Amino acid sequence: LQQKAHQTVLEINLNALVHNLNTFRKLLRAETKIMVMVKAFSYGSGDVEIAQLLQHQNVDYLAVAVADEGVQLRNAGITIPIVVMNPEHDSFQNIIDFNLEPNIYSFQLLQEFVKALEEFGLSNFPIHIKIDTGMNRLGLKTEKEVEEVITFIKNNKHLKVSSVFSHLAGSDEPELDDFTQEQFKRFADLSALIENSFPYKIDKHILNSAGIERFPQHQMNMVRLGIGLYGISQTGLALQQISTLKTTVSQVKTVNTNETVGYNRNGKIKQQSRVAVVPMGYADGINRRLGNGLGSAFVNGQEARIIGNICMDMLMLDITNLEVNPGDKVEIFGPNISISKVAQLLETIPYEILTGISQRVKRVYLQE
Amino acid sequence: LQQKAHQTVLEINLNALVHNLNTFRKLLRAETKIMVMVKAFSYGSGDVEIAQLLQHQNVDYLAVAVADEGVQLRNAGITIPIVVMNPEHDSFQNIIDFNLEPNIYSFQLLQEFVKALEEFGLSNFPIHIKIDTGMNRLGLKTEKEVEEVITFIKNNKHLKVSSVFSHLAGSDEPELDDFTQEQFKRFADLSALIENSFPYKIDKHILNSAGIERFPQHQMNMVRLGIGLYGISQTGLALQQISTLKTTVSQVKTVNTNETVGYNRNGKIKQQSRVAVVPMGYADGINRRLGNGLGSAFVNGQEARIIGNICMDMLMLDITNLEVNPGDKVEIFGPNISISKVAQLLETIPYEILTGISQRVKRVYLQE
Ligand SMILES: Cc1ncc(COP(=O)(O)O)c(CN[C@H](C)C(=O)O)c1O
Ligand SMILES: Cc1ncc(COP(=O)(O)O)c(CN[C@H](C)C(=O)O)c1O
C-alpha cells in the first residue's frame, strides 16, 4: 500500500523562516546576539525542528517559557544556551540537570534557586535578571529590589549574571512610543546598577520583534526575536509567512432547502446548497467562533465560507457555487488566507492563532 | 533537592470519571454496549490514561477522530476495538496495521478502503457504516447511497459490517425534539436496509451523551458516550466535574496609579492596586478574550479578575483586596469556577474549553 503524505498538516517552510531570521539580522549590528523565543512549541511551529535549525543558524540563545520545554530540546540534542522564562520551583531540578538558565525575576526566586544550587554544590551558574520597566509582569521593579539582588549575588559564588533584560509593553504601537521611551530610560538606569556591580561583562537586552523593527538603536548587545521569525511583522517588514494549515475534503453533499447543516441546526441555507465536509475542527485549534459564516477556507482557487457550527474534528464549507470533490485540498490559512486576517476576524492577535493549533495537527517541514 | 509536584497542571479525577460512567450505565440496559469518545485527547483529559481506565471498566469500544490517535492508544497497550471517525486515505496503512476500525461514510471511501484491504489480502475487516440523518456532516444520506454500499459489500469478502450508526444534531435541545424524532425515524428506515441485508448481527447506535440522558428508549444495542463522561450534563444529571486547571502565583506586585498592567497598557487601574503574575497564558489554552476583566481565577478562597491582556504564557490577576503570596494556588477552572461558566463567558461550549487546554499543560491523574 502506497503510504500517502499526511493530508491534515501544519506545513512549515524552513526557508521562509531562515529568510525572516536574515531579514532581522540585517537590521542589527553583526555582533549583536540573538535570542530566539521558541517557547510555546515555537509559537506553534514545532519545537525540536525549529530549534535545530536555529542552532544550525548560529543564534546565540533559545528561550522557552517552562523548563519542560527546555528539557525536550536538550533531549533532542540542542546544545546552545536555553533560558527558562518561568522557572517554577518544581522545575529547579530539571533546570540544573539539563543545563537550562533561569530568568530570575524576584528576590524570593533568587534565594530559592540558590538554595537548590547549594544542595548541588554548583557555582557560577548562569542566570538572567529581569527588570520590570512597566509591564507589571515578571521582574524586579524598584531600585531597592535591584540593590537587594545585587548585594545577595555579590556575596554568592553560586551564580553568574549572564544578562539583564526587560520587556516592552507596546513596541508595535506608535501611540505608546512615549511610554516605550520611558521603559528604555528606566531600563538604562536599573540595568546600569547591575552592570556596574560586577567585574565581568553582562549582556543587556530589551527589544522584541517589533522593537527591533522600530527601535534598532536600542539593540544593545542582544535582542529577543519572536513573532517576526514566524513571519508576522507589525511594521510592514518584508517577512515571509512560514505556515500553512491544510487538509483535504472528506465528503461532498447536497443540502436541500428544508435541511440544515451541523449541530443545533445552526447552518441555515436559503436555496439548495452543496457542502464539503472537512476533517478539522476546534480540537485542532480552529476557533469555534469562525463558524456560521464568519470564517472561510480556500478550496480550488476560491474562498468558501464555513457553514454552521464548527465541530470538534470537522467543519463544513458552503461550496454551492464551487466545483469541489473529495480529496481536494483545503487551506485554512496560508498563502491565500493570512494568519493576520484570521486573527482580525477573531479580534485577537496572530500569536494566539499560531499557538492555538493543537498537537494533533502534524507539523511537516519544507526545506530546499 | 526535593522534587516537588508539578505546579501547573490539569488535574483529572479518575474516580469522578468512573462515577460518571456508572451514572450513564444506570440509564442503560445492562447489555447495551458503550462506545466512549476518546478523540481529541479524550476531550483534553489525556489519551492513554483515560483509555486504560475505560478498558479496565470494560467499555466495548473507543472512538478516535483520526488514525494517529488510535495508533497512540495501541502503542500504549490498548486492545479493545477502536473506531476511527475520520479515516483519511493517508491513514489506511495505520488502520490496517494497528487493527483500527474505520467509519465508512461514503461509497468512494468504501471502494478506496477495500482496495487497500485487497492489497493486504485481508478479509472480514470490521467497518462501521455511518448514516447521515440530518447533520449534513459525514455519512450516507440517501436510500440510493445506502443500497449502493450494501450491494458492494455483499459481493465482497474483505469486509464485515460491525455496526451502523448516525449522529444527532440537537439531542440536548428540547426545541429540536421534532427534528430529533425525524432523525430517529430516518435512522430506523435506513439502518434496517443494512441490517436486513446481511446474515450476521449488526450493532446499531445513534445516542450521544445528551441523547442517552433524554432518549434512553433509543439506545438500541449501543450508545456513544462523550462529554457526559467528562462531567458535563445538559439535563442536570448528577455528574461530577473531573478536571481542575491550576497553577501557582509566580510574583506579586504593587501597581501605582500612573501605571498599567501588561501588553498595550490595556490593564488600567483606578487606584493603587496589587497584581499576581500567574504562569499560564493563551498558549496553554486560556482564551485571550478572558483578559481585561472578563475572566477570573480563584485564589485563596476568592475570585480575582484577570487584568490586562492575557500573555502567551502568563496572565495577571487583580488581587488588590486579597491576601496573596508567591506560591499560592490558583484555580483557572475546577471546583470553584465551572467549565460551563468559562464556556458561557466565551459564548462557546464546554467541549471547546476542554479540548483547548494545550499539551504543554501536564495532565496528572488522581485516583483513590
Ligand atoms: C520576555 C519576552 N521577550 C521577547 C518576546 C518576543 O516577543 P515578539 O514575539 O513580539 O517578538 C516575548 C514574547 N512574549 C509573548 C508574545 C507573550 O508573553 O505574550 C517575551 O515574553
Ligand atoms: C459521531 C459522534 N458520536 C458521539 C459523540 C459524543 O457526543 P457527546 O460528547 O455530546 O456525548 C460525538 C461527539 N462529537 C463532537 C462533540 C463533535 O463532533 O463536535 C460524535 O462526533
Pick the closest to residue B35 from B87, B74, B97, B84 (CA basis): B84
Give the per-residue pLDDT at A4.
Answer: 54
Give the per-residue pLDDT at B78.
Answer: 98
Amino acid (one-letter) located at A272:
Q
Q: Indicate whether A257 and A340 sit together in one domain.
A: yes
> With contact defined as beta carbons under 8 Å apart, do A248 and A7 qualify?
yes
User: What's the rounded Cα separation, in Å, for the pair A111 and A116?
Assistant: 9
Q: Which residues contact B58 (CB under 8 A, 6 or more apart)?
A: none
Q: Indicate whether B93 and B212 sit together in one domain.
A: yes
User: What's the rounded Cα separation, in Å, for the pair A328 and B177?
Assistant: 36
Q: Indicate whether B220 and B270 sit together in one domain.
A: no
Pick the closest to residue A71 from A51, A43, A45 (CA basis): A51
With a cut of 80, say whether residue A5 has pLDDT above it.
no
With a cut of 60, say whether residue B1 has pLDDT above it.
no
Q: Which residues contact B11 (CB under 8 A, 6 or more apart)?
A: B243, B244, B245, B246, B334, B363, B364, B365, B366
A103 close to ligand 1 (CB < 6 Angstrom): no
Mean pLDDT value across residues B42-70:
97
Q: Within the 127-146 window of chain B, which residues sit less than 8 Å (CB to CB) from chain A?
A: 132, 134-139, 141
A42 close to ligand 1 (CB < 6 Angstrom): no
- Report yes or no on B329 lying in a domain: yes
Pick the closest to residue B54 from B86, B27, B87, B81 (CA basis): B81
Cell digits for B191?
Answer: 439502518
Q: Indicate whether B175 and B27 sit together in one domain.
A: yes
Cα of A226 from ligand 1 centre, angstroms? 6
Q: Which residues contact B143 (CB under 8 A, 6 or more apart)?
A: B189, B190, B193
User: What's the rounded Cα separation, in Å, for the pair A255 and A250?
Assistant: 16
Mean pLDDT value across residues A233-253:
96
**DSSP state at residue A28:** S
A49 touches chain B (CB under 8 A): no
The DSSP string of A44-94 is TT-SHHHHHHHHHTT-SEEEESSHHHHHHHHHTT--S-EEESS--GGGHHH
Q: Within the 205-224 window of chain B, which residues sit less than 8 Å (CB to CB) from chain A?
A: none
- Report yes or no on A361 lying in a domain: yes
* β-strand partners of B203: B163
Query: 3-state DSSP call for residue A231?
Result: coil
User: What's the rounded Cα separation, in Å, for the pair A295 and A332?
Assistant: 9
Mean pLDDT value across residues B151-155:
96
Q: Indicate whether A26 and A158 sit together in one domain.
A: yes
User: For residue B248, which residues of chain A lie inside 8 Å, CB to CB?
Assistant: 88-89
Cα of B70 from ligand 1 centre, angstroms? 36
Q: Which residues contact A10 (CB under 8 A, 6 or more apart)?
A: A44, A45, A243, A244, A245, A357, A361, A362, A363, A364
Picking from A225, A260, A295, the residue at the C-terminal end of a domain is: A225
A219 close to ligand 1 (CB < 6 Angstrom): no
Chain A to chain B Cβ contacts (< 8 Å):
226
- What residues are in contact with ligand 2 under a 6 Å CB criterion? A 311-313; B 37, 85, 167, 208-210, 224-228, 351
- Report yes or no on A166 lying in a domain: yes
Q: In testing the pocket of ligand 2, which one of A277, A278, A286, A311 has its CB within 8 Å of the most ligand atoms?
A: A311
Query: 3-state DSSP call for residue B145?
Result: helix
Task: Give the CATH number for residue B265.
Answer: 2.40.37.10
* Helix or strand run (H / E) with residue B355: helix B350-356
Q: Which residues contact B214 (CB under 8 A, 6 or more apart)?
A: B171, B172, B235
Ligand 1, atom 16: closest residue by C-alpha: B312
CA dihedral B213, B214, B219, B223 (to 10 degrees): -40
> With contact defined as beta carbons under 8 Å apart, do B161 and B204 qualify?
no
* Helix or strand run (H / E) with residue A9: strand A9-13
| Residue B107: domain span | 14-225
User: What's the rounded Cα separation, in Å, for the pair A202 and A221?
Assistant: 9
Pick the closest to residue B276 from B293, B311, B251, B308 (CA basis): B251
> With contact defined as beta carbons under 8 Å apart, do B345 and B295 qualify?
yes
CA dihedral A129, A135, A138, A139 (to 10 degrees): 30
> With contact defined as beta carbons under 8 Å apart, do A12 and A284 qualify?
no
Q: How far is A6 from chain B (nearest CA, A)?
A: 6
With a cut of 90, say whether residue B364 has pLDDT above it.
yes
The DSSP string of B278-322 is ES--GGGT--GGGTTTT-EEEETTEEEEEES---SS-EEEE-TTS
Give the per-residue pLDDT at B7.
Answer: 87
Q: Indicate whether A78 and A177 sit together in one domain.
A: yes
Q: Using the beta-carbon criterion (under 8 Å), do A69 and B360 form an inter-chain contact?
A: yes
* Helix or strand run (H / E) with residue A154: helix A143-154
Residue pointed to by grid coordinates 508595535: A172
Picking from B193, B225, B257, the residue at the C-terminal end of a domain is: B225
Percent of chain A's residues with pLDDT above 70: 99
Task: Give the CATH number for residue A201.
Answer: 3.20.20.10
Q: Which chain A residue is nearest to residue B117, measuring alpha carbons?
A: A1
Cα of A345 from ligand 2 centre, angstroms? 27
A208 close to ligand 1 (CB < 6 Angstrom): yes
- Report yes or no on B238 lying in a domain: no
Reported pTM: 0.97
Picking from A225, A259, A283, the residue at the C-terminal end of a domain is: A225
Give the per-residue pLDDT at A343.
Answer: 98
Q: A6 pLDDT band (50/70/90 cuts)?
A: confident
User: What's the rounded Cα separation, in Å, for the pair A325 and B108?
Assistant: 11
Give me chain A's average pLDDT, please.
96
User: Which of the following is catalytic: B144, B154, B263, B268?
Assistant: B263
Residue pointed to by grid coordinates 476495538: B81
Mean pLDDT value across residues A233-260:
96
Amino acid (one-letter) located at B363:
R
Q: Indicate whether A143 and A200 sit together in one domain.
A: yes
Mean pLDDT value across residues A292-305:
96
Question: In this structure, which ligand is nearest to the CA of B84?
Answer: 2
Q: How far is B146 from chain A (nearest CA, A)?
A: 14
- Report yes or no on A1 lying in a domain: no
Atom of ligand 1 nearest to the CA of A212: 11
Q: B4 pLDDT band (50/70/90 cuts)?
A: low
A44 close to ligand 1 (CB < 6 Angstrom): no
Q: Which of B92, B253, B312 lies nearest to residue A40, judging by beta carbons?
A: B312
**DSSP state at residue B4:** P
Beta strands at B315-318 and B273-278: parallel, antiparallel or unpaired = antiparallel
Q: A7 pLDDT band (50/70/90 cuts)?
A: confident
Give the per-residue pLDDT at B5.
Answer: 63
Pick the closest to residue B139 from A159, A75, A82, A261 (CA basis): A261
Q: Using the beta-carbon criterion (under 8 Å), do B349 and A288 form an inter-chain contact?
A: yes
Report CA torsion sign: A221, A225, A229, A233: negative
Q: Indicate whether B136 and B283 sit together in one domain.
A: no
Catalytic residue list contains B39: yes
Query: 3-state DSSP call for residue B89?
Result: helix
Beta strands at B243-248 and B251-255: parallel, antiparallel or unpaired = unpaired
Give me chain B's average pLDDT, please.
96
Give the per-residue pLDDT at A350.
Answer: 98
> With contact defined as beta carbons under 8 Å apart, do A294 and A337 qualify?
no
With a cut of 80, say whether residue B102 has pLDDT above it.
yes
Label residue B58 left, alpha or beta by phi (over 0 means left) and psi (-120 to 50 means alpha): left
Cell digits for B349?
Answer: 461550549
Percent of chain B's residues with pLDDT above 70: 99
Q: Which chain B residue is nearest to residue A283, measuring alpha carbons?
A: B355
Q: Indicate whether A145 and A202 sit together in one domain.
A: yes
**DSSP state at residue B348:** S
Q: Indicate whether B211 and B268 sit together in one domain.
A: no
A327 touches chain B (CB under 8 A): yes
- Report yes or no on A234 lying in a domain: no
Q: Indicate whether B59 and B179 sit together in one domain.
A: yes
pLDDT digits (tens, 9 = 90+) for B276-294: 999 999 999 999 999 999 9
* Helix or strand run (H / E) with residue B28: none
B312 close to ligand 1 (CB < 6 Angstrom): yes
Q: In testing the pocket of ligand 1, which one of A60, A224, A234, A239 has its CB within 8 Å of the most ligand atoms?
A: A224
Cα of A283 from ligand 2 centre, angstroms? 12
Cell digits for A357?
Answer: 493549533
Give the per-residue pLDDT at B226.
Answer: 98
Mean pLDDT value across residues B195-222:
98
Q: B301 pLDDT band (50/70/90 cuts)?
A: confident
Q: How far is A133 from chain B (nearest CA, A)?
A: 10
Q: Indicate whether B221 and B253 sit together in one domain.
A: no
Per the structure, how many domains does chain A have? 2
- Report yes or no on A4 lying in a domain: no
Q: Which chain B residue is nearest to residue A274, measuring alpha carbons?
A: B136
Give the per-residue pLDDT at B317.
Answer: 98
Q: Which chain A residue is nearest to residue B264, measuring alpha carbons?
A: A170
User: For residue B39, which residues of chain A lie inside 8 Å, CB to CB?
Assistant: 283, 312-313
Q: Which residues of A are tagged catalytic?
A: 39, 263
Establish whether A312 is an annotated binding residue: yes
Cell digits for B309?
Answer: 491582556
